[in-house]
Structures are given as structure tokens and as C-alpha cells.
Structure 1
């Protein structure tokens, strides 16, 4: 996301979206009651009885609702019109902006909170278009996932009954080939339109190696060069979190936000087991810990902020301001990723302490 203009005193920031991560970020920071100005199209009836025509115009909306549509690559911002060309619009009527990549919009808030400004700046930190495809596979079961900086999405689950070892090897091979072929179809369908950067094939035993061998013998060599095999305990969804926290993808931490988030949550889980007194959970506990200067790092889920009441957002902002005064840091985790889901299960706000 590129910041074109900003005047924090007036509460105004003008940005241009550059990729899907930017749309996801805007989804998390634009709230009901914000004012958004953008170029849009609106159907205008020029004469009675005519079907009307779509005209391009700049409108300003008082926001009522924001929805992120990942698969249509757009952000929908609904609100009432408060500014626009008098000839074509009625103030107070509803309109929806369909914000896409490479679009400019101005956002005005009563006050820009630090967590919102952090998210705007953080979008440029990670490789915006890096997409990871994970195939978790075991005998007769495969789960396929897409991991991006804004989402973890299950594409497919493939089940196939594979005969046991008491059956002839030729029959087992036949069913395995059919199983592998079904996974290959899912893989290649998504390679064509998702821009996959890396393919992780994980699971127990040797079946993942047999699948990789099958792909190399029956697929396009251009994408087989992107494949990497990693050991995991199963072909279920839990394998995704297992490999994200394993450290084998550590070199990609600057490209995939989920890896950095997973590292932080894993640190919390280790402390829970070894030294739980160095963990604070919930707003009251964390506020008390900050008061005595004990908080080193604060982790917050996006759902704690997104859609929260104004008073709750201000409470979180107050905590962050107090935290920064004692030299602490904060990080916002995406609940569409496994680490964010895990943090949400812990109460959505957790702190790592310097001392008890």
C-alpha cells in the first residue's frame, strides 16, 4: 500500500492499493463511522422512464459496513453519501464502493489509533504476492491449503480407499495412482490462477515421496521445481500448523506473515509449559502488568479490534500507549491463520512478561 498523503491532525490518509494484502488491511482498519472518499460508478437516471446509465464520479461515504471478498479481489465499503455531484446523487442515499487493486481512496477518522497506523505501515514489510500451497498427505487422505499473508484457505479434501498390504501390489499401485491423480488435478487447477511461489508436500512415512515422484513423472517441470518435502505427523489440517512452527521454513519469515506470527505464539505456548508466570492474559491482567513495567511484548488478534466498539478500541489504544512508554512492543495477529486462531482461543490478547 502506498501512502500518497497524510494529515494525522485532521485524521486523513490517502492511499493507493497495490495488492490483495492492502485490501485485507483496509478491511481491518476501516470502521463504521469513518469517512471514505473514492472514485466510483453509479447508475444515474437522466430522464423519466429511462433505464439510466453508469457514470464515473467521486463520492464521499459515511461508512456503515465493510466486507472483504477475497476471491473477487475487492473490498466492498457500504455507506450513506455525504458528498458528491449534486446533479446525480441524493445525500443520505446508500452507495457501495468496490475497491480493487491500484485504486486510490481517502480515509478520514475522528482519530487514527496506533494499531491502525501500524497495520498500514506493516503491509509493506512482507512480500505481498508470496503464496504458499501446502498438500498434507497420508495414505488415502490429502488436504490442500493456500497460505497468503491475509488468509489460510482449505482448497480441497481428497479421500480414497487404498487397499491394505494383504492385496496385490499392482492393485495398491492402481488405487494410489488414482489418488495421486485427483490431488494433481486440484494442484494444477490452482497453479493456473493463484500464482503459487512454493509448494510444500508434507506428511508421515514415504507416501509424500511417492507422490512427488508421481508428479515429476507426470507433470509440468516448471512447477515441480517449486516443490519441497517436509515431514509431518498426518495428512490432516493440523499438519499446516505443525510445519509452520517447525522452523524448516525460517528463511521465508520475511515473506510470509504467518511464519512470524507462529513463532510468537509458539513462544507463548513454551512459556505456558515452563514458566506460566511470565504470561498475562486479558485486558485487566495485562493493564496491571504494564503498570509495573513488566510487559515485554503484547499480542492482539485482529478480531479484538475489527468491529469492536469505539470504547473498546480506545481501551486497547490506551494499553498500547502505556506499553510503549515502558519500551514494550505490540503485534496484531491474523485470525485467518493458525497462530491467530490459537491466540483467539487464549482470549485474543496475551502478553509476554519481562519478570513475574
Structure 2
């Protein structure tokens, strides 16, 4: 998502001008735009043909009553949002709220938010969830879940990969002299290669948040990628970089026919790599939801689901993980949305973690079947499913 202009602060009204750039952006906008928001965008509408006027040729009698399709800019108060992922279309429907030469005020209109077309979104309240969606969608660092270095001797491409695109963050180039016959370990070739690995490793670590990324691919022809991996570990030992060793298991060394970006495309198509990277966007959520199901089956009072049970657990400050589906944040009832935003803020303040599950994913669908909200607790709490009236009795 490209952010062109922003005139709002969290918990205040305001507007932002955005350009969606891929399918992921449309999905984020589906979660961002709410009933009651205003959207200003370019669209088309059938309007009656003009009958003439100052400087305009009158239409002929046979055109009377006919319509023509005109490009317009309309501001619409949103009443309904519809997203079809397979068609890559996000539609909004509502009433116009600004005067227009061709469209009366309060006229219903359906428009499409399209890729690469800018629009303006006005919200009466930019709450924490809305604010977070903008930050994540407009930052490649936030969207990317895979880091990759594709290289060969003397050239390295450092990339971040989202679900829909690969972004080149840095390119390292260094001249590597050919190794001469009989040259020992301290020759110019080996020294230049060591310097190249050092530059590539340092640049990679500056650009990659190893803690947040799900995987780091190192791809090259021959043994260059493996040599870089060994250099990264050597450099981490020298610098006492514990983060590298904590995330060592995320590194995947693979073969490619070239050290340029085509090589990365090859590596990503490799079936063994695909199996390792499958579902990276939801890997953490899936693992935690699996843990939740296991604990729920154990029936030891550390896993609960349901709006009332989750709210009680949050009030007690006992929540380790609060799991909510994005469906609840799209509720037309503003009080429902605000309720779950408040719960999320309370959990974070007490040191817990909030996970928002996508209803497009299997674990999100399963959570929706369990009311859409669940908690995994730090310690057992009994009887969260009992009513207060029952306790009084």
C-alpha cells in the first residue's frame, strides 16, 4: 500500500489518501473500511444526456431520455463492503455526501476500489486496530515475512518477500580477482571473497528483523550460499550476536542457477522449499491455535473460548494469548468493535499477546466456529463459564 497523505492521529477523526498495490492491500482495506466511514474516489455512473446549455450542443430528439456513462469523483458514506479475493475486487456501497453536477446528494452508488488507483478514506475515529492496519499495510518491513539473499561470487541481492511481491532492499557488488594457480589461503581472491561475505552478512542483518521474519533463504549456484551461512555464524560468534543463534533454525540454504533475482524465483518454486515455507503468514497463529486446542482438550482450565469467558479472563489479567478473528473487528456495531479493541489493549498492558486471525485461513475459520474469540491463560482459572447469578445462588 502506498500512503500519499495522512491527516489523522490515533483516537481522532481524520483522513488518509492511499493507493492499493496488491491483493494483500485489498484484504487489509476490507478490514479497515467500516460502515459509517466516507470514501472519496473516481468511479463511473450512468447519467442522463445533457440537453444543451451555454456553449453545449443540444442533444437530438432521438437521444432524449438516454444515458451516457461518465467518469466522476464521488464521496460516499459507506453502508456495505464486499470483497471477493478471487476477483481482486473490493466494492463499497452507500449514499453520496457531497454535491455533484450529475448525482444528487444522498443517492445510492456502488463503486470499486481498484489496484493502483488512489482514494481518500475518512474515519470519525482512527482506533488502534485501524491505525495498526495502516502502519502494517504501508510498511514493507511489516508486511514481509521472508527474507532472502540470492548471490554468487561478487554479487548479492538482499530481498524482503511478502505474499505478493519481492522487494530488493540492497545490492552488494564487489570485484573478486580470479584465483591464481598455487595461490595460498591468503591470496587476493580469498581476501576479496571474505570481504564480500562480510559486507553481505552485515547488510543482511541491518535489513532483516530476524526475530519477526519466519524464514531466511540463502540461494546461490555452487557452495556460495553455504559459505555465506557459515560466515554469518562466524560473524555472530565474533560479535556475540545472540539474536542470530536464537533464529538459526530459520535459515534455509538452497541451490539456484544464478545469483540474480531469477535465481530466487527458482528457489521459491522448489517443492522442498515450498513445504518449508507453507503458510508462513499464519505460522505463528496456527501453532498457537494448535496449542490452544491441545490445552482445551486437556480440560485444565487454561484454555477458554466465548465473549464472556474471554472478557472475564482479560479482567483478571490472566491472558497469555488473546485470539480474535478479523470478523469481529468488521462488525457493523461500533460498540462491539470498541469492546474488542479495549480487550486487546488490556491484554497488551498486562504483558499478553494479541493475535488477529484471518477468516480466509483455516485456523481463522475454526476460531469463528468457537465464537471468534478465545484465550490461552498463564495459569488455570476455573468456572469462567459460570454466570454471576449462579455464583450468587
TM-score range, shorter chain: 0.5 to 0.7
* Higher mean displacement: 335-344 or 106-115: 106-115
**Mapping 1:40-51, distance limit 5 Å:** 40-48=43-51, 49=64, 51=66
Task: Pick the aligned partner of 1:70 from 81, 85, 104.
Answer: 85
Q: Note the alpha carbon deviations across 1:15-56, whole angstroms, 9 max, x for none.
A: 210111111121122222111111222233232516333333
- Once the two structures are TM-superposed, the CA of residue 296 in structure 1 deviates from its matched residue by 2.0
* Structure-2 change in CA distance of 1:16 and 1:115 (3 Å): same
Q: Note the alpha carbon deviations across 1:181-211, whole angstroms, 9 max, x for none.
A: xxxxxxxxxxxxxxxxxxxxxxxxxxxxxxx
For 1:276 and 1:149, the matched residues in 2 are separated by: 38
For 2:124 and 2:31, the matched residues in 1 are separated by: 16
For 1:30 and 1:36, the matched residues in 2 are separated by: 9
* Structure-2 change in CA distance of 1:310 and 1:227 (3 Å): same
* 1:270 corresponds to 2:294: yes
**Mapping 1:333-352, distance limit 5 Å:** 333-352=357-376
For 2:114 and 2:288, the matched residues in 1 are separated by: 32
CA contact (8 A) 1:79 1:96 kept: yes
Q: Note the alpha carbon deviations across 1:79-126, whole angstroms, 9 max, x for none.
A: 1111143x2221111112211111222222221232233333334534
Compute the RMSD of aligned alpha carbons. 3.0
CA contact (8 A) 1:68 1:75 kept: yes
- Secondary structure at the aligned position of 1:43 is classed as strand
Aligned residues: 247
User: Bigger relative contact order, structure 1 or 2, given CA contacts below 8 A and separation 6+?
Assistant: 1
- Secondary structure at the aligned position of 1:83 is classed as coil
Taking structure 1 as the reference length, the TM-score comes to 0.61
For 1:3 and 1:272, the matched residues in 2 are separated by: 42
Residue number in structure 1 paired with 2:55: none
Name stretches of at least 5 consecutive residues in structure 2 with no aligned partner. Answer: 52-63, 147-161, 165-264, 381-393
* Structure-2 change in CA distance of 1:334 and 1:310 (3 Å): same
Residue number in structure 2 paired with 1:33: 36
Taking structure 2 as the reference length, the TM-score comes to 0.56
Residue number in structure 1 paired with 2:327: 303
Q: Note the alpha carbon deviations across 1:333-356, whole angstroms, 9 max, x for none.
A: 112211111212222101121222
Q: Which has the larger radius of gyration?
A: 2
For 1:292 and 1:258, the matched residues in 2 are separated by: 28
